[in-house]
């Protein structure tokens, strides 16, 4: 086992998309780690590179995207050095992903049980039909769906149930790490709460590690142990959930938190962040946030801030610190 005790360590990852208009630096020198049994939240505006980071970890980046640099160490082995064949043994069995809008990925002409059984048998060829079906029923039970519905078709389930079926399917081969990319998008608030409750229970029952990708900060506050805040392809702040929400350091994190309603405070004015995220083909020089930053200084326009550890486990990339 190399590389410390972390289950997953991403070091200096760069994933670029080579388009006709230029190179989109979707993930640009990102380093994160996930400990065993830990939930890491990944937050930021749309288009900041969160989903690309998730796809990079799974090595599923679609062309014209390419991972150009960095290391992805999972359980001590560098996933970027594995062959396609070796990767298949890692995907689903060790790292699993629930994609954004995953519930639309269910095959409408197969029962949900059949789809879970196929996943199990594809990755564990020795499993008998009977055992696979029993496991499918148990998995449905795990996500609070009556196992008797294993022979139902996707159209017979509500959106939230389909999403829970996808979570069950992601768990079919007992992975160590589950990446959930916006797992509650397109679900109403009550159903969102049900899905998150299921994930919370799974985390404790199975000691799963999670990466939860969302732009909903309240979900991260509820569910995660640590948070990474991403902006324009870079991690701008990283720390444990409590300190990060209590005392955000990076102006972008402060802006994100201020733009979120707080139902417990009486007079809280919501402040929106002016402007829009930058074009990643031609990002601004220096700190990528400087055009929108209320605290920008001259140095911010010229020099890219180096991430500094301001206290143990608390990292921020901003010229105000360091």
pLDDT digits (tens, 9 = 90+) for 133-177: 999 999 999 999 999 999 999 999 998 899 999 999 999 999 999
Tell me what pLDDT residue 258 has.
85
Residue 125 sits in the same domain as residue 253: no
- Given a cut of 50, the residues of the chain with pLDDT beneath it are 1-3
Has residue 123 been placed in a domain? yes
From residue 191, give the alpha-carbon distance in Å to each of 183, 187, 198, 238: 11, 6, 11, 29
Strand partners, 286: none
Q: How many domains does the chain have?
A: 2
Has residue 206 been placed in a domain? yes
Contact between 309 and 235 under an 8 Å Cβ cutoff? The reply is no
Q: Which of 174, 204, 230 is the last residue of a domain?
A: 174
Model confidence over 204-243: pLDDT tens digits? 888 899 999 998 888 999 999 999 999 999 999 999 999 9
Show Cβ contacts of residue 3 under 8 Å, excluding neighbours closer than 6 positions: 9, 73, 76
Tell me what pLDDT residue 2 has.
40
Has residue 247 been placed in a domain? yes
Residue 67 sits in the same domain as residue 139: no
Q: Which of 117, 139, 174 is the last residue of a domain?
A: 174
Tell me what pLDDT residue 268 has.
67
| Start-to-end Cα distance in the chain | 33
Has residue 1 been placed in a domain? no
Cα(126)–Cα(186) distance, integer angstroms: 37
**Kind plus residue range of the DSSP H or E element containing 88:** helix 84-90
Residue 29 sits in the same domain as residue 158: no
Tell me what pLDDT residue 84 has.
94
Cα(17)–Cα(231) distance, integer angstroms: 17
Contact between 249 and 237 under an 8 Å Cβ cutoff? The reply is yes
Q: For the chain, percent helix, then strand, then coil, each to nearest 5?
A: 35, 25, 40
Q: Which of 174, 195, 221 is the last residue of a domain?
A: 174
**Kind plus residue range of the DSSP H or E element containing 234:** strand 234-240
Has residue 100 been placed in a domain? no
Tell me what pLDDT residue 4 has.
53
Residue 82 sits in the same domain as residue 150: no
Residue 181 sits in the same domain as residue 269: yes
Residue 301 sits in the same domain as residue 186: yes
Has residue 99 been placed in a domain? no
Tell me what pLDDT residue 5 has.
74
Tell me what pLDDT residue 191 has.
86
Has residue 59 been placed in a domain? yes
Full residue range of the structural domain in which residue 44 is found = 8-94+176-316
Tell me what pLDDT residue 121 has.
94
**Strand duo 65-74 + 95-98: pairing:** unpaired
């Amino acid at each position: 086992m190399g590389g410390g005790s972390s289950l997953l360590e991403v070091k200096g990852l760069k994933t670029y998309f080579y388009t006709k208009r230029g190179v989109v630096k979707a993930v640009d020198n990102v380093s994160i780690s996930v400990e065993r049994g830990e939930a890491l939240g990944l937050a930021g505006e749309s288009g900041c590179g969160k989903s690309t980071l998730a796809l990079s970890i799974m090595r599923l980046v679609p062309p014209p995207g390419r991972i150009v640099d960095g290391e992805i160490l999972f359980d001590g082995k560098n996933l970027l050095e594995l062959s396609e064949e070796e990767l298949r043994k890692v995907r689903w069995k060790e790292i699993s992903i629930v994609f954004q809008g995953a519930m639309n990925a269910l095959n409408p002409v197969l029962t949900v049980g059949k789809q879970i059984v196929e996943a199990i048998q594809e990755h564990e060829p020795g499993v008998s039909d009977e055992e696979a079906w029993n496991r499918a029923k148990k998995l449905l039970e795990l996500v609070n769906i009556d196992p008797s519905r294993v022979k139902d078709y996707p159209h017979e389930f509500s959106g939230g149930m389909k999403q829970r079926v996808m979570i069950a399917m992601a768990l079919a081969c007992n992975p160590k790490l589950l990446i959930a990319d916006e797992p509650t998008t397109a679900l109403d608030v009550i159903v969102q709460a049900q899905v998150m409750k299921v994930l919370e229970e799974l985390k404790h029952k199975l000691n799963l590690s999670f990466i939860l990708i969302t732009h909903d900060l309240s979900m991260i506050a509820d569910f995660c142990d640590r948070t990474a805040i991403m902006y324009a392809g870079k991690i701008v702040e990283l720390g444990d959930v409590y300190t990060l929400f209590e005392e955000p350091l990076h102006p972008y994190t402060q802006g994100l938190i201020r733009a979120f309603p707080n139902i417990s405070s009486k007079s809280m004015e919501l402040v929106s962040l002016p402007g829009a995220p930058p074009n990643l083909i031609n990002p601004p020089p220096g700190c990528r946030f400087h055009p929108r930053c209320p605290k920008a200084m001259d140095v911010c326009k010229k020099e890219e801030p180096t991430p500094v550890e301001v206290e143990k486990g608390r990292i921020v990339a901003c010229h105000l610190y360091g």
